[in-house]
């Protein structure tokens, strides 16, 4: 299979790629740092339970967990980021 | 008593104790007339007593010797060459130790027999051993050992009459190994971190970590990560209130419900006026008395009951021990041997009006048998009151801890409590609800341990199968799972014990050190600071073995093996040196990366400490503590000043530590507190025109 040439990124863009989507820490996986990646994993894992409990969509779920006082700060950060990303797409 | 002229030539027995208070107690207990002569030599107290010959009792001041690197002045690492030296040679502000050692050495010259009467544990053994070896010119091999668990006159006299023929060399060997291994880990790792930061930022800041500190910090950090990344799980519970025999019972639907539709369906199905008790299960069981206190359990209980930190409890226990009111506190035993004299102690305690009733009741028992725990300590029994009552009123904290020890001592001899558990199934329209309750049938030990034990007693009606109940109310409650609670002084101590890291005597100090280094914050709930988090991150990344509980747990086991004569000091030190050689090499290689990370964390901490709050005059500006280049004086200024947007500034007192306390309720300006040495904290609003300042004081 032919490998397509990758677009060249500017230094600023490369630096941005190396940083977590939420904070300035080094990226671990999926564009998140180690700490926010753990929170992202939890958010993904709990969606099904919340969907069953409240019959909510992904966006509604993110808003709800962001407002919940028991949600951890990093999980709230990730939820906020994901909400903003969804709004951009809209 | 010999005349004064012959006194100076008379040979004597030199007894060495760990602390001045212990020397005073021992000298007076051993003196034939019960009144030893106190002599002050160059500000060092020592005591002359007579007991079948002259005795001189001289105290130490805890550890008088410490470990230091053989290479003086160099701060490089790794360091593997070390020696034991007097503390004044290695530490600042310890000139008193020089005089102290001189006095001990002078007294040793005229002594004929030597007795080590320091506490019978690892630390006490090393204190005595080092003094006998270095200050008494190699008398550690000929010295005898006094072993006692309380500072009561009877036990001290008995201990002196039955001196152990020599020091417990296995205990000394284990103690020396522990100190040397800890020193090797501490100095090498701390120097690696400190130098990495110094080379990266050019500034000196002390970073410390060690064999016990590292894993302890890691526990808190791991918990914090789980809390911060936590997403709660929702679940629903249906509760009902049912009435029988004029008593309302709370019953709960047999399982939590995940979906809303399911929950609504069950609730709707329960809309009826009557239910039926389907099954009743009543069982009676005994609840055994608590076991005697070992140090960790006592520290944990003191936190649960009074919210005293382990460190505070430890200090109070030491003071009660030195006043001969309780037995030796640094014990891991939960056993109370009959030799301590249960009856004598109870009789003595019964003289205090508060304890008369309980003690008399226990003394009336035909047999006194304590409910002992599993833990055993060869050196000391569990903590117990000696029966000696305070000669003067105790302060609140001392009184509370003493009362806790006494009441626990009573409780372990009392009868088991008899409890009844009631479980019932209530059918509400084919939906099963569960009821469970417990009630005390016979108080037993609970009566003796009150008010430190509390069970919720609820009035339970006689329930019978087939009985009808009135359904008063059915409610659907939404709940969320909670994250694990943050560690508090009690739970962290228990975690350290469970993971077998540190010793009973050092755990509280380790936690305190983590606070002193600013790695932890909070009082009731511990949180890791940015610096603490970065230190753990660095150690986890570059030397994970150092902060793994396994390493420190294995070392503890090896040291126990030394104590039992199954392992040698040399072999344990060789293993430690080999591990550290690899670790320090890695740390040196990654010094730049480590330095950058930690420097950034320091910078953030400094900024946080300097920040006093948002600027009330401009948008986005932060008020921070600054220092004037011209005058060198400190003041509060806005960060937007540097961009020419805001000139807001406030004067500050020039001395004391400043902490921000949020915003003023009257004007919204930041409130700060200034902590000055020897002064009460001074709290004030930065706004000089704050309306609160104008209000007349009431």
Which string of DSSP letters, residue by residue, matches A53-87? HH---HHHHHHHHHH-TTS-HHHHHHHHHHHHHHH
User: Are the beta carbons of B233 and A55 separated by less than 8 Å?
Assistant: no
User: Are the beta carbons of A53 and B235 separated by less than 8 Å?
Assistant: yes
Per-residue pLDDT of B500-550, as tens digits, reads 888 887 888 899 999 988 899 888 889 898 889 888 988 888 888 888 888
Q: Kindly state whether residue A2 falls inside one of the protein's structural domains.
A: no
Residue A1's pLDDT is what?
A: 43
Give the residue-averaged pLDDT of B127-154.
95
Residue A89, Cβ neighbours under 10 Å: how many?
A: 6
Sorted by sequence, the CB contacts under 8 Å of residue B434 that are 6+ apart come out as B251, B252, B253, B254, B423, B424, B425, B426
Per-residue pLDDT of B420-440, as tens digits, reads 888 999 999 889 999 988 888
Domain that holds residue A20: 11-89
Chain A: residue nearest B534 by CA? Answer: A25
Taking 60 as the threshold, does the pLDDT of residue A4 lie above it? no
Question: Which tokens belong to B102?
Answer: 């001189």
Backbone φ and ψ for B348, nearest 5 degrees, come out as -65, -40
Per-residue pLDDT of B627-683, as tens digits, reads 888 888 999 999 888 888 888 889 898 888 888 888 888 888 888 888 887 788 888
Residue A90's pLDDT is what?
A: 66
Residue B529's pLDDT is what?
A: 87
Tell me the pTM.
0.80
Q: Is A51 on the interface with B (CB under 8 A)?
A: no
d(CA B154, CA B405): 21
Is B328 labeled as catalytic in the residue annotation?
yes
CA angle, corner B334, sides to B325 and B306, nearest 5? 60
C-alpha distance from residue B284 to each of B423, B425, B438, B464 (Å) = 12, 18, 10, 17
| Helix residue ranges, H only, B202-309 | 213-228, 260-269, 295-306
**Chains A and B: how many Cβ contacts under 8 Å?**
59
User: Across-strand partners of B672?
Assistant: B660, B684
In chain A, how many domains are there?
Answer: 1
Q: Is B376 on the interface with A (CB under 8 A)?
A: no
Nearest C-alpha neighbor of A35 from the set B467, B226, B367: B226
User: Are the beta carbons of A39 and B480 separated by less than 8 Å?
Assistant: no
Find the CB nearest B228 among A49, A53, A72. A72
Find the CB nearest B234 among A38, A42, A49. A49
Q: Which of residues 19-48 of A touch B (CB under 8 A)?
A: 35, 38-39, 41-43, 45-46
Q: Kindly state whether residue A64 falls inside one of the protein's structural domains.
A: yes
Sorted by sequence, the CB contacts under 8 Å of residue B295 that are 6+ apart come out as B314, B317, B329, B330, B331, B332, B383, B504, B505
Confidence category of residue B128, pLDDT binned at 50, 70, 90: very high
Min Cα separation B607/chain A (Å):
17
Q: Kindly state whether residue A1 falls inside one of the protein's structural domains.
A: no
Chain B: residue nearest A68 by CA? Answer: B232
Find the CB nearest B232 among A35, A54, A68. A68
Residue B1's pLDDT is what?
A: 43
CA angle, corner B398, sides to B393 and B401, nearest 5? 130
Q: Is B676 on the interface with A (CB under 8 A)?
A: no
Per-residue pLDDT of A32-87, as tens digits, reads 988 899 999 999 999 999 998 998 999 999 999 999 999 999 999 999 999 998 88
Per-residue pLDDT of B242-293, as tens digits, reads 998 888 889 999 988 888 888 888 888 888 888 999 989 999 999 999 999 9
Residue B456's pLDDT is what?
A: 72
Taking 90 as the threshold, does the pLDDT of residue B208 lie above it? no
d(CA A77, CA B223): 18
Taking 90 as the threshold, does the pLDDT of residue B117 lie above it? yes
Q: Kindly state whether residue A29 falls inside one of the protein's structural domains.
A: yes
Min Cα separation A43/chain B (Å):
6
- The secondary structure of residue B639, as a DSSP letter, is G
Map residue B92 onto helix, strand or coil.
Answer: coil
User: Across-strand partners of B141?
Assistant: none
| H or E element that contains B693 | helix B691-694
Give the residue-averaged pLDDT of B178-197.
91
Confidence category of residue B174, pLDDT binned at 50, 70, 90: very high
- B269 in Cβ contact with B433 (< 8 Å): no
Taking 80 as the threshold, does the pLDDT of residue B115 lie above it? yes
d(CA A51, CA A68): 15
B400 or B2, which is more confident? B400
- B399 in Cβ contact with B385 (< 8 Å): no
User: How long is chain B?
Assistant: 698
d(CA B363, CA B343): 7
Confidence category of residue A2, pLDDT binned at 50, 70, 90: very low
Q: Is B632 left (phi over 0), alpha (psi -120 to 50) or beta?
A: left
Confidence category of residue B607, pLDDT binned at 50, 70, 90: confident
Residue B353's pLDDT is what?
A: 94
Residue B166's pLDDT is what?
A: 96
Confidence category of residue B6, pLDDT binned at 50, 70, 90: very low
Q: Which of B328, B435, B449, B519 is catalytic?
A: B328
Chain B: residue nearest A48 by CA? Answer: B233
Q: Kindly state whether residue A4 falls inside one of the protein's structural domains.
A: no
Domains and CATH numbers, chain B: 4-167 (3.40.50.140), 176-228+486-600 (1.10.460.10), 234-289+417-480 (2.70.20.10), 295-413 (1.10.290.10), 615-694 (no CATH)
Among the residue ranges B158-172, B476-490, B683-697, the one predicted with the least confidence is B683-697
Residue B84, Cβ neighbours under 10 Å: how many?
A: 17
Confidence category of residue B449, pLDDT binned at 50, 70, 90: very high
- B302 in Cβ contact with B308 (< 8 Å): yes
Give the residue-averaged pLDDT of B212-216.
91
Min Cα separation B169/chain A (Å):
49
Nearest C-alpha neighbor of B363 from the set B382, B384, B341: B341
Q: What percent of chain B has pLDDT over 70?
A: 98
- B655 in Cβ contact with B664 (< 8 Å): no
Give the residue-averaged pLDDT of A11-40.
79
Q: What percent of chain B has pLDDT over 90?
A: 56
d(CA A30, CA A53): 28
Sorted by sequence, the CB contacts under 8 Å of residue B346 that are 6+ apart come out as B359, B362, B363, B368, B387
- B535 in Cβ contact with B209 (< 8 Å): yes
Q: Kindly state whether residue A32 falls inside one of the protein's structural domains.
A: yes
Residue B372's pLDDT is what?
A: 95
B369 or B660, which is more confident? B369
Chosen from A70, A73, A79, A82 to mutate, greatest number of chain B CBs within 10 A: A70
Backbone φ and ψ for B650, nearest 5 degrees, come out as -140, 145
Taking 60 as the threshold, does the pLDDT of residue A11 lie above it? no
d(CA A77, CA B84): 52
Q: Which residues of A touch B228 (CB under 8 A)?
A: 35, 39, 72-75
Find which of B348-362, B459-473, B612-626 is predicted with most confidence, using mean pLDDT.
B348-362
Confidence category of residue B2, pLDDT binned at 50, 70, 90: very low
Give the residue-averaged pLDDT of B109-135.
95
User: Are the beta carbons of B231 and A53 separated by less than 8 Å?
Assistant: no
Give the residue-averaged pLDDT of B297-307.
94
Per-residue pLDDT of B59-102, as tens digits, reads 999 999 999 998 877 778 899 999 999 999 998 888 999 999 99
Give the residue-averaged pLDDT of B564-578.
91
């Amino acid at each position: 299979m032919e490998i397509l040439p990758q677009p060249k990124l500017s230094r600023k863009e490369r630096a941005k790629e190396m940083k977590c989507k939420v904070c300035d820490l080094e990226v671990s996986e999926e564009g998140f740092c180690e700490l926010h990646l753990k929170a992202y994993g939890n958010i993904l894992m709990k969606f099904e339970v919340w969907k069953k409990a409240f019959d909510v969509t992904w966006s509604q779920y993110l808003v709800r967990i962001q407002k919940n006082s028991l949600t951890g700060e990093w999980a709230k950060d990730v939820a906020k980021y994901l909400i903003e990303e969804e709004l951009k797409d809209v | 008593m010999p005349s004064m002229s012959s006194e100076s030539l008379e040979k004597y027995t030199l007894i060495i104790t760990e602390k001045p208070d212990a020397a005073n107690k021992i000298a007076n207990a051993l003196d034939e007339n019960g009144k030893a002569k106190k002599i002050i030599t160059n500000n060092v107290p020592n005591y002359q007593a007579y007991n079948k010959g002259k005795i001189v009792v001289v105290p130490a001041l805890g550890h008088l010797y410490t470990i230091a690197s053989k290479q003086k002045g160099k701060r490089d690492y790794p360091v593997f060459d070390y020696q034991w030296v007097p503390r004044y040679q290695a530490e600042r502000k310890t000139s008193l130790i020089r005089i102290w050692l001189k006095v001990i050495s002078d007294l040793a010259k005229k002594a004929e027999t030597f007795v080590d009467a320091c506490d019978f544990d690892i630390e006490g053994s090393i204190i005595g051993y080092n003094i006998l070896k270095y200050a008494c010119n190699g008398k550690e091999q000929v010295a005898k050992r006094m072993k006692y668990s309380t500072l009561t006159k009877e036990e001290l006299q008995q201990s002196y009459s039955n001196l152990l023929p020599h020091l417990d060399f296995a205990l000394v060997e284990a103690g020396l190994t522990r100190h040397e291994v800890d020193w090797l880990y501490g100095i090498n790792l701390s120097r690696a971190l400190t130098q990495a930061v110094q080379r990266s930022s050019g500034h000196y800041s002390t970073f410390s970590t060690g064999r016990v500190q590292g894993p302890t910090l890691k526990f808190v950090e791991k918990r914090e990560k789980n809390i911060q990344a936590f997403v709660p799980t929702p679940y629903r519970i249906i509760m009902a209130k049912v009435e029988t025999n004029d008593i309302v019972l709370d019953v709960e639907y047999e399982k939590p419900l995940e979906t809303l539709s399911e929950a609504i369906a069950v609730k709707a199905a329960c809309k009826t006026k009557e239910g039926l008790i389907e099954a009743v299960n009543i069982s009676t069981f005994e609840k055994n008395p608590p076991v005697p206190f070992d140090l960790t359990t006592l520290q944990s209980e003191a936190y649960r009951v009074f919210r005293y930190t382990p460190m505070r409890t430890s200090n109070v226990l030491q003071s009660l021990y030195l006043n001969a009111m309780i037995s030796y506190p640094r014990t891991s035993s939960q056993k109370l041997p009959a030799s301590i004299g249960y009856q004598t102690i109870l009789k003595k305690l019964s003289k205090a009006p508060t304890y008369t009733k309980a003690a008399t009741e226990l003394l009336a028992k035909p047999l006194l048998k304590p409910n002992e725990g599993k833990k055993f300590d060869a050196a000391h029994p569990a903590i117990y009151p000696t029966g000696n009552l305070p000669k003067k009123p105790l302060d609140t904290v001392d009184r509370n801890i003493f009362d806790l020890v006494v009441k626990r001592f009573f409780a372990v001899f009392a009868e088991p409590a008899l409890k009844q558990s009631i479980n019932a199934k209530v059918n509400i329209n084919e939906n099963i609800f569960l009821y469970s309750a417990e009630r005390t049938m016979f108080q037993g030990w609970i009566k003796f341990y009150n008010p430190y034990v509390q069970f919720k007693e609820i009035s339970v009606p006689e329930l019978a199968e087939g009985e009808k109940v009135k359904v008063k109310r059915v409610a659907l409650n939404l709940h969320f799972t909670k994250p694990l609670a943050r560690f508090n002084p009690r739970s962290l101590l228990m975690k350290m014990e469970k993971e077998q890291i540190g010793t009973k005597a050092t755990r509280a100090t380790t936690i305190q050190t983590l606070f002193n280094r600013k790695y932890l914050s909070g009082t009731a709930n511990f949180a890791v600071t940015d610096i603490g988090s970065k230190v753990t991150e660095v150690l986890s990344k570059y030397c994970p073995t150092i902060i793994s509980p396994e390493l420190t747990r294995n070392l503890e086991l090896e040291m126990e093996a030394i104590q039992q004569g199954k392992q040698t000091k040399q072999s344990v030190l060789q293993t430690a040196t080999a591990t550290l050689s690899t670790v320090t090499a890695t740390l040196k290689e990654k010094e730049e990366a480590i330095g950058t990370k930690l420097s950034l964390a320091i910078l953030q901490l400094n900024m946080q400490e300097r920040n006093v709050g948002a600027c009330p005059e401009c948008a986005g500006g932060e008020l921070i503590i600054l220092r004037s280049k011209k005058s060198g004086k400190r003041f509060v200024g806005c960060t937007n000043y540097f961009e020419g947007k805001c000139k807001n500034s406030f004067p500050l007192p020039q001395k004391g530590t400043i902490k921000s306390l949020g915003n003023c309720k009257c004007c919204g300006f930041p409130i700060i507190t200034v902590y000055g040495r020897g002064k009460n904290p001074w709290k004030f609003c930065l706004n000089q025109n704050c309306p609160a300042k104008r209000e007349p004081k009431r």
